[in-house]
Amino acid sequence: MAKTAEKTTKMSSLMNFIREAKAELKKVTWPTRRQMWYWTLVVIVFTLCVSLYLGLIDFLLAWLFSALLG
């Protein structure tokens, strides 16, 4: 009998969590399609800039060490 009560309590807790999560998601201000495109482009440009910077540093350090040790 204790297991049945425990299962009921767990199911009740799960259902309560789902209800509360659904209520919180209704409060979220979702971005518009235009905002999503803008921020996607910002992330892509930032990633490219960092990649170029790190690639340049890598190239310069490789050249420097090959000149010093080679």
Which amino acid is it at 6? Answer: E
**Pairwise CA distance, residues 17 & 11, whole Å:** 10
- Residue 9: the pLDDT is 84
**Element (DSSP H or E) covering residue 48:** helix 33-69
- Predicted pLDDT at 5: 67
- The share of the chain scoring above pLDDT 70, in percent, equals 93
Round to whole Å and give the CA distance between 39 and 3. Answer: 50
pTM: 0.60
To the nearest whole number, what is the mean pLDDT of the chain? 92
Q: Decide if pLDDT at 62 tops 60.
A: yes
Dump pLDDT digits (tens) for 14-46.
Answer: 999 999 999 999 999 999 999 999 999 999 999
